[in-house]
Structures are given as structure tokens and as C-alpha cells.
């Protein structure tokens, strides 16, 4: 009998197939004591296993490329963390086996991460995966991972580690469903990059029996268990129509009556550029430069290294717009050379622009590198600061850009409610705004973006969040300046229409979402988008807002 479940849709598309579950995680190794004379040998085994796992993660990253490569390289750094390895060796020295020493040291580190801010708390699944891989190697058992199957299937897991998500074969894995995660988790981001339909934060997903046929709608978050023939036909027809619409629509983003809405790509570095170009991105709306800095948490990359990375992205979009976010570090992405280690609540502490203003040399080097990278190129370079709270922040950033001789537009990200409420004041100092809806939702609703239990408050359809978007867009229009969205909200085709109706002037998203958004925008006039936006803002919940907007656009 057909039943319907609902999670959070994070990657567009429809998948219909049999359930296959993720391989069982490594069991906890026994807590037995070893003689003192065996400690050195066990320490050697632990080091060898760590290096082997790190090498495997790096190799997987090289195969996957793009943003997945950055994620897997970060996992390899986790495995090789010197303090963590020192803790493993200390535990072995007092009698633990190599596998037990690894297990217990990672457990202690896990507890620290869980209380260290939203980004690091969200990396607990990554850490668990590293631990499982090391322990599996030490025990001589198969690595945890996706099931072996000759037939396509829908993958079910409590959570998916980046090492598994990055190398999913879309020919076999039709889609995936997880119990944990949220719209901005690594698994969600990588699923969108792969173009695999995905639903996260589905309670009880693990209870779906192996072999059960389910239909997954990665747009709505709906899961249909044992779907009827009629439901399957309906979903397959909708998927076919959507695919036909995608292939029929090309060129710049615009509504059906010609209102231009540039569609830009979010990238983490040069590896993400080919997919963005192939998808027809009109430029880059968010170049996340922190990936370059996370390669080595002990020191900033040299000016020369930064110039090379920035220029590779800028060269890919001649005459296009490339918006670079300067280093967004602190709290969720700590760097040893930059961020305090003893903040009681790092997510509300010294992060983003605050960190850079405390370390003006780091900001100056990055701005100088961007200036040199753009020399001689016809690209339209724009540079923005993360976590801007008020006009004083905006002025400090604009002054730093001018002092570095940067020939570019200077902008501010709206990620804090105060910035949306005082957007017009901020625009007296900078030339554009860009809304980071992931963090803006997190700070508006006090809801950690990585915690599945509060995912409803991370839903970008929340009317309060739409109100803040509208305030920012209205301020920009009043000042004759632009206001884009670069958070995950822009990747939802229906919501993209609502954002356009709110007055947003550009949308930036993962490359895989661009064709969906382009095709959907082309179906409606600007007036229809404006009416949908008004209906969504008049609602009292995210679900009501979504339904109201859909009703307006479908003419109901």
C-alpha cells in the first residue's frame, strides 16, 4: 500500500527504484590491554593505517575533482591531525591496541567538534567516516561504503560521508535518502554537484526494508513507499517534462517577459569551473576562497599561490561577472593562524570580516592577490566581505579595498539580520549586496544549519526569511544598486521565481541547479513572480508559503 513520507529535498530530480542500505559501520573494537613491549609496534600500525586512509581519501578526491576534491582533502587533513595522532599514541603507550587507541582518541575529538560551532559540529559525520576507515584497515575488514549492486538502486543511509558521496555512480545510484543532514550539509552540496536526486533529514529512513520500491522527489522532499502504477507514471511524466524543458531553454536567465535575472555559479576553486561553464553560468556569484586557505590551517597561502588560483577562475568568464568572497574563517571554519581557540560561542564570535579586520595583513595580501589576478583581464571583478553587521563593518572593508588599490566593486554579504534591517545604511559604503541565505536563516531562527532536528527552521521558504530578503532588495533598489542571492535558496526553481519577485537582481547556485532555475524562470512573467512573492510572504509557515506561491504560478 502506498504511503508518503517527507524529508528535506536537497537535490532536484526524481528517482524510482529499490532500496539498498549503506554498509554497516565498523563495530567498536574490544578494549583489551597489550604488553608494554608491543606499544611501539602498535603505534607503527596506527600511523601506517592513518597514512593509508589519508592517501585513499586524496586519491578519491583527485578522481572526483571540483568541490568534492576540497572536501575529501579536508578529511585527509582530519586523519593526519598531529594532535589527534599524538593522542592515539599516548593511549597505545598505556596499553591500548592500535584500533582501540584510534577509536577512543576519535571519540574524544568527536565530543570537542560537536560543541565547537555549526561548521565543525556538522563535520562529525566526516570524522566518524575517517575513524571507521582507519579502524577497518587495522581490523582487516572491508571499508564501510555503498553496497555492491549490478542493478540501479536508491541508497539509504543514516548519513553519507563525503568520501562515499563524491564517487557515487549516477548510473547505479538513482538517488539517496538520509536520516540526518540538512540543506547545507556536505552530502547535500555534493549531491547537487553530481545531479543526483536526494532527500535528507527523513526520520526513520533506516527502517525502510531492503528491496522496497520507493519514489524520491528531490525537489519536494517527498518519498512514496511502494508507489502505485499511477503515481510512478505521474512522477516519470513530470521528470520527462522537466528534462525536455531543460534542454529547450538556454541562454541568459530571464522571465518570460524578458526581465533579466543573471544566473551565476557558486564555486570553491578552479576545479568547479568546467561544470559552471557547461551549465551556462553567466559568471560566478560566490567564489568561496576559504578552500584555498583550508589547505594549511597553520599559515595563509602565499600571494603567488592566491594569484594563480584566482586568475584560473577569472579567465574562465571573459566579460562575465565574478564575485569573490574574501576569506570567511573563524567559528565554523577555524584557522590556527587567524582565529581564537578559546571562544565560548565561536558562531557568535570573531568570524568572517571580524577575523580579517583583526589581521589586516591577511586581508591586504588577499586583496592585493585579487588585484594582480585581474590585471589585463576583461572580467567584471566584484569583491565582498562575509558577516557584515553594520555600516562601520562595510566602511572598514571598503577602505581596505581602496588601500590595496583594488579596481573592483566592493560589496557586503547579508548573513546577519542586522545587515538586512539596516541594508540601506550599509549600501552607503558598498556597491552591492549578496544574501547568504544559509547563515541568514541560521542566525534569524537560532537553528544550526547542520542539525536535522531543526531543519524546518532552515527552510528558506520561511516567511520571516523572505521578509529579510525583501528588505535588502528594497534597500538596494532605493539606492540604485544590486542585490543577489548566493545561498542554497537560489537553487530551488520555484523559490528562484519568488526571490525574483522580491526584487533580487541575480541568483547564484551550484552548477547542476542552473538549468532547472533557467527553465522555470522562463515560464513566468515578472508580475507573476511578484504576486507569488507576495503570497509567500503572507503565509505563516514555510510549507504554506511554498503552496501559496505554487498556487499563484499555476494559476489556481
Q: Which residues are catalytic?
A: 186, 486
Task: Tell me the backbone φ, ψ of residue 175, rounded to 5 degrees.
Answer: -175, 175
Q: In whole angstroms, what is the distance from residue 201 CA to residue 295 CA?
A: 30
Distance from C-alpha of 86 to C-alpha of 448, rounded to nearest angstrom: 31
Cα 108–109–111 angle (5° rounding)?
70
Backbone CA torsion sign across 458, 281, 68, 368: negative
Concatenate the DSSP letters of all residues of 199-265 into one string: EE--TTGGGSPTT-EEEEETTTTEEEES--HHHHHHHHHHHHHHHHHHHH--SS-B-TT--B--EEE
What are φ and ψ of residue 445, in 5° steps? -105, 5
- For residues 400 and 390, what is the distance between their CA atoms, to the nearest angstrom? 16
Distance between CA atoms of residues 201 and 188, nearest Å: 11
Distance, in Å, from the CA atom of 109 to the CA atom of 400, rounded to the nearest integer, reads 38
Question: Under a CB-based contact definition with an 8 Å cutoff, are residues 315 and 377 in contact?
Answer: yes
- Sheet of 173-178: strand order equals 3-6, 222-225, 213-217, 14-21, 153-157, 173-178, 198-200, 8-11
Contact 330, 355 (CB under 8 A): yes
Under 8 Å between Cβ of 382 and 393: no
Residue 359's Cβ-side half-sphere holds a number of Cα atoms within 13 Å equal to 23
d(CA 168, CA 286): 26
CA dihedral sign of residues 484, 488, 491, 497? negative
The SS3 of residue 89 is helix
Residue 447 CA to residue 439 CA, distance in Å, equals 10
H-helix or E-strand spanning residue 265: strand 263-267
Question: ∠ at Cα 512 (507, 515), nearest 5°?
Answer: 65
Q: Which residue has the cell 553594520?
A: 390
Q: How far is CA 239 from CA 54, 66, 151, in A?
A: 39, 27, 21
Q: Are 264 and 283 in contact (CB under 8 A)?
A: yes
What are the angstrom distances between the C-alpha of 38 and each of 94, 101, 106, 504?
A: 11, 13, 22, 65
- β-strand pairing of 482-485 with 8-11: unpaired
CA separation for the pair 259, 253 (Å, rounded): 9
Length of the chain: 556
DSSP 260: B
Amino acid at each position: 500500500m502506498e504511503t508518503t513520507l517527507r524529508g528535506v529535498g536537497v537535490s532536484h530530480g526524481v528517482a524510482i527504484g529499490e532500496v539498498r542500505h549503506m554498509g554497516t559501520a565498523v563495530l567498536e573494537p574490544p578494549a583489551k590491554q597489550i604488553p608494554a613491549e608491543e606499544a611501539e609496534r602498535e603505534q607503527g600500525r596506527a600511523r601506517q593505517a592513518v597514512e593509508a586512509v589519508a592517501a585513499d581519501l586524496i586519491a578519491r578526491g583527485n578522481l572526483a575533482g571540483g568541490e568534492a576534491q576540497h572536501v575529501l582533502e579536508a578529511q585527509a587533513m582530519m586523519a593526519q591531525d598531529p594532535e589527534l595522532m599524538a593522542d592515539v599514541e599516548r593511549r597505545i603507550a598505556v596499553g591500548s591496541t592500535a584500533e582501540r587507541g584510534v577509536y577512543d582518541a576519535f571519540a574524544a575529538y568527536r565530543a570537542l567538534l560537536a560543541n565547537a560551532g555549526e561548521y565543525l559540529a556538522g563535520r562529525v559525520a566526516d570524522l566518524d567516516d575517517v575513524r571507521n576507515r582507519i579502524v577497518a584497515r587495522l581490523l582487516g575488514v572491508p571499508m564501510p561504503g555503498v553496497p555492491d549492486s549490478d542493478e540501479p538502486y536508491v541508497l539509504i543511509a543514516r548519513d553519507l560521508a563525503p568520501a562515499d558521496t563524491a564517487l557515487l555512480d549516477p548510473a547505479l545510484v538513482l538517488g539517496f535518502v538520509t536520516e540526518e543532514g540538512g540543506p547545507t550539509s556536505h552530502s547535500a552540496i555534493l549531491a547537487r554537484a553530481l545531479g543526483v536526486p536526494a532527500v535528507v533529514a527523513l526520520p526513520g529512513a533506516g527502517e525502510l526494508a531492503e528491496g522496497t520500491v520507493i519514489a524520491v522527489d528531490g525537489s519536494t522532499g517527498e518519498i512514496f513507499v511502494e508507489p502505485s502504477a499511477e503515481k510512478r507514471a505521474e512522477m516519470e511524466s513530470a521528470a520527462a517534462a522537466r528534462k525536455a524543458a531543460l534542454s529547450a531553454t538556454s541562454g541568459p536567465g530571464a522571465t518570460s517577459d524578458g526581465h533579466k535575472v543573471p544566473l551565476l555559479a557558486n564555486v570553491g576553486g578552479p576545479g568547479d569551473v568546467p561544470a559552471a561553464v557547461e551549465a551556462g553560468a553567466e559568471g560566478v556569484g560566490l567564489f568561496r576562497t576559504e578552500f584555498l586557505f583550508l589547505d594549511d590551517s597553520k599559515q595563509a597561502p602565499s600571494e603567488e599561490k592566491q594569484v594563480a588560483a584566482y586568475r584560473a577562475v577569472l579567465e574562465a568568464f571573459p566579460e562575465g561577472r565574478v564575485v569573490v568572497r574574501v576569506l570567511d574563517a573563524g567559528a565554523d571554519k577555524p584557522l590556527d593562524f587567524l582565529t581564537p581557540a578559546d571562544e565560548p560561542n565561536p558562531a557568535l564570535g570573531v568570524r568572517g570580516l571580524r577575523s580579517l579586520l583583526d589581521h589586516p595583513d591577511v586581508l591586504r595580501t588577499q586583496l592585493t592577490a585579487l588585484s594582480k589576478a585581474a590585471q589585463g583581464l576583461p572580467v567584471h571583478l566584484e569583491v565582498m566581505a562575509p558577516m557584515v553587521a553594520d555600516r562601520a563593518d562595510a566602511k572598514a572593508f571598503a577602505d581596505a579595498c581602496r588601500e590595496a588599490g583594488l579596481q573592483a566593486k566592493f560589496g557586503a554579504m547579508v548573513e546577519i539580520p542586522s545587515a538586512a534591517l539596516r541594508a540601506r545604511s550599509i549600501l552607503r559604503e558598498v556597491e552591492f549586496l549578496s544574501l547568504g541565505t544559509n547563515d541568514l536563516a541560521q542566525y534569524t531562527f537560532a537553528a544550526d544549519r547542520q542539525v536535522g532536528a531543526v531543519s524546518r527552521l532552515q527552510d528558506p521558504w520561511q516567511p520571516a526569511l523572505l521578509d529579510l530578503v525583501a528588505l535588502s532588495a528594497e534597500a538596494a533598489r532605493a539606492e540604485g544598486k544590486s542585490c543577489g542571492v548566493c545561498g542554497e535558496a537560489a537553487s530551488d526553481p520555484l523559490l528562484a521565481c519568488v526571490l525574483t519577485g522580491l526584487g533580487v537582481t541575480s541568483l547564484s547556485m551550484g552548477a547542476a541547479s542552473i538549468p532547472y532555475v533557467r527553465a522555470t524562470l522562463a515560464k513566468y512573467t515578472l508580475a507573476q513572480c511578484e504576486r507569488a512573492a507576495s503570497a509567500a510572504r503572507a503565509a505563516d509557515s514555510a510549507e504554506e508559503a511554498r503552496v501559496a506561491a505554487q498556487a499563484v504560478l499555476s494559476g489556481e
